[in-house]
Structure 1
Amino acid sequence: MKLLLNIDQTFSDLLLQEDTDNDKKITKDDTGPKKFVLVDETTKQEVAIEGTYFLSNLLQELAVLKEQNVALGEIDLDFIQENPVERISRKIKTDYWNELTRTIDKKGLAQILNDEKTTNAIPTLYVSAKDKKGVAYFQELEQEVGGFEVAILPEDFSMEYVETLNTKPGILALALEQKIYSLQGVPFVVPGGRFNEMYGWDSYFIAVGLLLDNQLEKAMAIAENFKYQIIHYGKILNANRSYYLTRTQPPLYSSLLIDILKQKKLGQDWLQSHLETVILEYNTVWMVSGNRLTPTGLNRYKSDGVGMPFEVEPGHFDDVLAPYAQKYNLSVREFEKQYLNRTLVDTDLDAYFVHDRSLRESGHDTTDRLINTCANLNSVDINSFLFKYEKDIAYLIKEYFNGSFESNSVHYTAQEWELKAQARQAKINELCWNETAGMYFDYDFVNQKQFPFEAATMFFPLWAGLCNENQAKKLVEIALPQFVKMGGITGSTAASVAGVSPDAPHRQWDYPFGWAPHQMLLWEGLLKYGYHQKAQEMVYRWLWLITKNAVEYNGTIPEKFDLETSSHKVFAEYGNVGTEFDYIAKEGFGWMNASYQYGLQILDDTLKEALNKDTSPGTIF
């Protein structure tokens, strides 16, 4: 049923009555009557809309028509009264992915350059000198449209050179593709909110959602941009900004290729080029001795660069800098200025920031597990990812190249990659598995002992498939219950956080916060080891929280949750992206969207119905 309404008048009246806290949303926190009567302009038929969820749906549908400058418009009551699960999933598929899609080309460049991270008077676009086609294209575009400056990165650059770019930070170009009449940017999907660039491991989880929503081309485009970054910048970047050239992110490129191939059989040339790049990344980013490869034979996160990371907000490190400022008899601001300019050098502080930059490379920025220790750790997460790389490369060579593959004049066999994986598996189990605790811990190779911080990354071996049945059983029966809250698993256990100084700030990747990547990798791991009912439970808990939050807060789909309060209201470090919008949530948040779509593929129909009824996990499990 549809009603013809005066859009502006209905919109204003609805807000005046129901948005009592004036936040441009209708949420459970508003104290209006929670009942609004619509009157059809033609028939004068009256329809009452009742309850926070349905009223917020009405506000969202009105907001869409207002943006289209519709004076008299039809409201479809089916959309207003749509079940929450169907509405959230539909909007992710039909709206959110498109809203989050970007290109770096004539059409899309302005949206990329003009965001809150652009501090230069004239935005700067950096293009690698290796990319001859890109240099020519963007220099021509600079002359044609203006408003930005093209800067050329040398083909080979040092980390010292990268540090000089901080005086003029900018976006890094990504791949171009030839269309019929012109070059166009290869699309990518951003996380959302203030994250208006291509992030490394976010992109993999986003691709999982894209593939589930039959957007194969966008998932393949992510792979193309991964390949471009490795070739032109030496690594898959934390994100494509100049100050991220010093660090990579968790390696998930091979997993993306496997997922794409499950959906569509692609040409041998396509796979050949990407497999070559995966192997190039493995050899040059991860397996260089003394850098990310350690004497144990296992790996670590190890970012390049010196001093404070460039991207943090002012004052973020004041608690770290204060003792050093006192040591040099300077104010914190004056010390920070001299330290950034390197007119004052402190080796102890430099060592701290080696760990901090490496922590950010891990994607877990920040966690007390990695503060001031990250570069010393053979962490469970990075070694699980690399075990998966080795297994994936072996599988691709065996299944698609008859067991033998040549790349850059080097001959590889599936068997040698299997042996690499077996060696890593044995070493992880030797150094990181704790049989008594029934958990995996990071291994401190400097001090030659396990680092017993209980983090959700201990479930990554389940996802990677490197556990034996005994280890999997202990992880599920002993470790997992210590992480489970009503709405999913926390980033670490309460016990591990309790062991940290009470004066330390809350770290957003620790207890009590919950993140989509941890949930998604856990679910896949549980399914891989046959724990199907436990997977159903863990999926339900997370999707219940996303659904409940969206129902009560105007469709909000945030970056993360506080699992202690089952809320998107997070007051730790960087706040919560995806919560700042007016009237309508247009994009959700990348990996949260993906987790919803992935979870629905796992969940059985009975539990989907329970989600729509807001049935608490506590009454089911």
Structure 2
Amino acid sequence: MATKTNPVFWSFLLIFTVLLSCKEERQIKRESPGDLFPGLFEAVQSAGIFPDSKTFTDCVPKRDPHKILEDFKKEKGKPGFDLKKFAEKNFELPEHAGEEYKTNIKAGVEPHINELWNVLTRKPDKYVQYSSLISLPYSYVVPGGRFREVYYWDSYFTMLGLEESRRIDLVENMVNNFAYLIRTYGFIPNGNRTYYLTRSQPPYFSLMLQLLMNNKAGKADSVLIANRDVLEKEYHFWMNTVNEKDTASAHVVRLQDSVVLNRYFDAGDWPREEAYHEDITTAAQSTGSKADAYRQLRSGAESGWDFSSRWFADASNLRTIRTTDIIPVDLNCLLYNLEMTLVKAYNREGDKKAREHMQRQADRRKRAVIQYCWDNKTGWFRDYNWRKQQQTGILSLAGVYPLYFGLASEGQAARVAVMLNSQFLKAGGLVSTLQNTGQQWDAPNGWAPLQWMAIKGLMEYKKNALAAEIADRWSRQNIRVFNKTGKLLEKYNVTDTTLIAGGGEYPNQDGFGWTNGVLLKILRMDLQKK
């Protein structure tokens, strides 16, 4: 047996540590398609040879990128050069998730959802050199359509349905995948693609962990303690800052009274590779610098609300996007829950000092959300523009998050319920905002995750009648479309239930992970209108 004085043991340990570090470093520095194919990437994306900008980012090169680039440089200037044929010759094109699946409408929507879990499940990834896909060690569920990889906040709402289908094995696998990503990269990327490594998405990991704990009878504490380091790393990602003297740095904003709240912030200031043409076009119309426009667009993508009038300076035009100026009420409620989950973890471990510190952090955040985001005039929780030192003029469903996490008073919850009923509730469910801008996270569209946050938030304050009405209208719209098309969609037009949802950078996608999850959860709820 090796001992502390055994030089062979320590030499072996040093070599093993270095190799492990190198392996992790190689994975962390994996290059994106734009890095691997400079010149060719921009040419393909600018030419629009694929209808969807995401197609080329998900292609897998058939041979060494250097050789592909050499051939491109030799051939591009020749008469008759066909860029599309060159791309198709040198790259394997991606498939749409679930596109070959045929629906049996007569079987009903619940059997359809249960079958789709298998269709949308991906086995543990095998590493493919030069692919933009970040390989994950456990199986996982993708949303569907063009979204052929796992997505961070989508996955929580997918897990709600997996729980109802008693697929706790998949829930646990997905939690373990996200823990792996945090331990490897320090955060959960937007999705498991190299071109997403500059940003995260709304931090739902603590909610995922709580869901898993609720389904691990007798093992909840061990699950929590085993993932304490993961919770801490994600918290550090959101709370880490470059310069403590700055008013705003990365995800952190310091307000005048020393209160610290958070914003969305992408580390990149270049066009999103998966939306290259779209970002180039928007930046060209921006009144500011192109680099700043790219960062604002990227940060909007980190929010998951890509895109919405929530982020616009003039409430209507994408070219005025100012995401990093906004302190979002929903993000800070999610981080409050992360802090409270860490409080619970420290309490389980008997770490009184850490528990008391994190409880103070959570209490400060709660007070700050109420102070800066509650609008007593309208009876709604609004986002806060820290540059203008005032709440934004946009009413959005992000305002229900303080109810979901129990931050609101009874009086505030009652007023939010009135606003939901009078302003947001439409024939097919809740509209995301009251603005109709042509963006997909504005009117007339409704989205499954926001319906769920509103329904559960109302139930926290015993507003069951309104919660039941929202659930009923939303599920009826889902099923109405399913009976006509055999599909469950990414988003819905909730204002005119005869029309499909529109807006955004790509067509409405079917599949669809979070719609399936929320719908199944609603259908299994015993929620009476009383």
The aligned counterpart of 2:464 is 532
Deviations 1:44-88 (A, max 9, x none): xxxxxxxxxxxxxxxxxxx969xxxxxxxxxxxxx8755xxxx21
Q: Is the 8 A contact 1:536 1:602 kept in 2?
A: no
The aligned counterpart of 1:97 is 117
1:482 and 2:423 matched: yes
Structure 1 pair 526–287 and aligned structure 2 pair: CA distance change class (3 A): farther
Secondary structure in 2 aligned to 1:476? helix
**Aligned match for 2:379, one of 417, 438, 460:** 438
Deviations 1:554-592 (A, max 9, x none): x1111001112215623312344444xxxxxxxx30000
**Aligned match for 1:548, one of 476, 480, 490:** 480
Structure 1 pair 81–293 and aligned structure 2 pair: CA distance change class (3 A): closer
Deviations 1:349-383 (A, max 9, x none): 22222211111000011112114211011111111
Deviations 1:331-357 (A, max 9, x none): xxxxxxxxxxxxxxxx62222222111
Q: Is the 8 A contact 2:455 2:471 kept in 1?
A: yes
Gaps of 5+ in 1: 1-62, 66-78, 107-137, 139-147, 151-168, 177-185, 325-346, 406-410, 498-504, 580-587, 608-620
Q: Distance in 1 between matches of 2:502 and 2:334?
A: 30
Q: Tell me the CA shift for residue 285 of structure 1.
A: 3.1
Where do residues 259-278 of structure 1 align in structure 2 (5 Å cutoff)? 259-265=211-217, 266=219, 269-278=222-231
Structure 1 pair 509–80 and aligned structure 2 pair: CA distance change class (3 A): closer
Q: Distance in 1 between matches of 2:105 and 2:177?
A: 38
Q: Tell me the CA shift for residue 487 of structure 1.
A: 0.8
Q: Distance in 2 between matches of 1:510 and 1:257?
A: 30
**Aligned match for 2:492, one of 545, 548, 561:** 561
Q: Is the 8 A contact 2:156 2:204 kept in 1?
A: yes
Q: Tell me the CA shift for residue 313 of structure 1.
A: 5.9
**Aligned match for 2:501, one of 555, 570, 573:** 570
The aligned counterpart of 1:160 is none
**Aligned match for 2:253, one of 294, 312, 319:** 294
User: Could you tell me which amino acid in structure 1 is paired with residue 336 of structure 2?
Assistant: F
Deviations 1:489-531 (A, max 9, x none): 11101xx44xxxxxxx610001110000100111111111111
Q: Tell me the CA shift for residue 449 of structure 1.
A: 1.1
The aligned counterpart of 2:439 is 507
1:364 and 2:364 matched: no
Secondary structure in 2 aligned to 1:298? strand
Secondary structure in 1 aligned to 2:273? coil
The aligned counterpart of 1:469 is 410
Deviations 1:396-418 (A, max 9, x none): 443x43x437xxxxx622x3332
Q: Tell me the CA shift for residue 267 of structure 1.
A: 6.6
Secondary structure in 2 aligned to 1:602? coil
Q: Tell me the CA shift for residue 457 of structure 1.
A: 0.7
Q: Is the 8 A contact 1:512 1:564 kept in 2?
A: yes
Q: Tell me the CA shift for residue 395 of structure 1.
A: 3.1
Q: Tell me the CA shift for residue 544 of structure 1.
A: 0.5
1:383 and 2:332 matched: yes
Q: Distance in 1 between matches of 2:220 and 2:410?
A: 37
User: What CA RMSD, in Å, does the superposition of the two structures yield over aligned residues?
Assistant: 2.4
1:208 and 2:165 matched: no
In terms of fraction of residues, the more helix-rich structure is: 2
**Aligned match for 1:460, one of 401, 406, 418:** 401
**Aligned match for 1:172, one of 118, 131, 134:** 134
Q: Distance in 2 between matches of 1:81 and 1:365?
A: 35
1:592 and 2:524 matched: no
Secondary structure in 2 aligned to 1:572? coil
Q: Is the 8 A contact 1:246 1:305 kept in 2?
A: yes
The aligned counterpart of 2:354 is 412
Where do residues 46-65 of structure 1 align in structure 2 (5 Å cutoff)? none
**Aligned match for 1:245, one of 190, 197, 214:** 197
1:149 and 2:149 matched: no
**Aligned match for 2:147, one of 179, 184, 195:** 195
1:230 and 2:182 matched: yes
User: Could you tell me which amino acid in structure 2 is paired with residue 273 of structure 1?
Assistant: A
The aligned counterpart of 1:116 is none
Q: Distance in 1 between matches of 2:498 and 2:492?
A: 6
Deviations 1:269-304 (A, max 9, x none): 543221221112102333435211111211000110
Q: Distance in 2 between matches of 1:285 and 1:209?
A: 28
Q: Is the 8 A contact 2:152 2:188 kept in 1?
A: yes
User: Could you tell me which amino acid in structure 1 is paired with residue 417 of structure 2?
Assistant: V
Q: Distance in 1 between matches of 2:172 and 2:439?
A: 34
Where do residues 322-333 of structure 1 align in structure 2 (5 Å cutoff)? 322=285
Q: Is the 8 A contact 1:559 1:589 kept in 2?
A: yes
TM normalised by structure 2 equals 0.73
Secondary structure in 2 aligned to 1:172? coil
Larger radius of gyration: 1
1:279 and 2:259 matched: no
Q: Is the 8 A contact 2:238 2:252 kept in 1?
A: no
User: Could you tell me which amino acid in structure 2 is paired with residue 292 of structure 1?
Assistant: H
User: Could you tell me which amino acid in structure 1 is paired with residue 446 of structure 2?
Assistant: G
Structure 1 runs of 4+ off > 4 angstroms? 79-82
1:355 and 2:296 matched: yes
Larger mean Cα displacement after TM superposition, 312-321 or 217-226 = 312-321
User: Could you tell me which amino acid in structure 1 is paired with residue 477 of structure 2?
Assistant: L
Structure 1 pair 396–213 and aligned structure 2 pair: CA distance change class (3 A): farther
Secondary structure in 1 aligned to 2:446? strand
The aligned counterpart of 2:15 is none
Q: Is the 8 A contact 1:250 1:385 kept in 2?
A: yes
The aligned counterpart of 1:258 is 210
Q: Tell me the CA shift for residue 535 of structure 1.
A: 1.1
Q: Is the 8 A contact 1:549 1:568 kept in 2?
A: no
Q: Distance in 2 between matches of 1:323 and 1:306?
A: 14
Deviations 1:158-186 (A, max 9, x none): xxxxxxxxxxx711122x3xxxxxxxxx0
1:422 and 2:363 matched: yes
In terms of fraction of residues, the more strand-rich structure is: 1
Q: Is the 8 A contact 1:568 1:576 kept in 2?
A: no
Q: Is the 8 A contact 1:439 1:479 kept in 2?
A: no
User: Could you tell me which amino acid in structure 2 is paired with residue 188 of structure 1?
Assistant: Y
Q: Is the 8 A contact 1:249 1:361 kept in 2?
A: yes
Larger mean Cα displacement after TM superposition, 373-382 or 561-570 = 561-570
Secondary structure in 2 aligned to 1:311? helix
Secondary structure in 1 aligned to 2:155? helix
User: Could you tell me which amino acid in structure 2 is paired with residue 245 of structure 1?
Assistant: L
Q: Is the 8 A contact 1:454 1:492 kept in 2?
A: yes
Deviations 1:407-433 (A, max 9, x none): xxxx622x3332222111111111111
Structure 1 pair 538–249 and aligned structure 2 pair: CA distance change class (3 A): same
Structure 1 pair 512–101 and aligned structure 2 pair: CA distance change class (3 A): same
The aligned counterpart of 2:88 is none
Q: Distance in 2 between matches of 1:225 and 1:81?
A: 35
Secondary structure in 1 aligned to 2:154? helix
Secondary structure in 1 aligned to 2:275? coil
Q: Distance in 2 between matches of 1:472 and 1:269?
A: 35
Where do residues 28-43 of structure 1 align in structure 2 (5 Å cutoff)? none
Q: Distance in 2 between matches of 1:529 and 1:99?
A: 37
Secondary structure in 2 aligned to 1:217? helix
Q: Is the 8 A contact 1:556 1:578 kept in 2?
A: no
Q: Distance in 1 between matches of 2:427 and 2:209?
A: 34
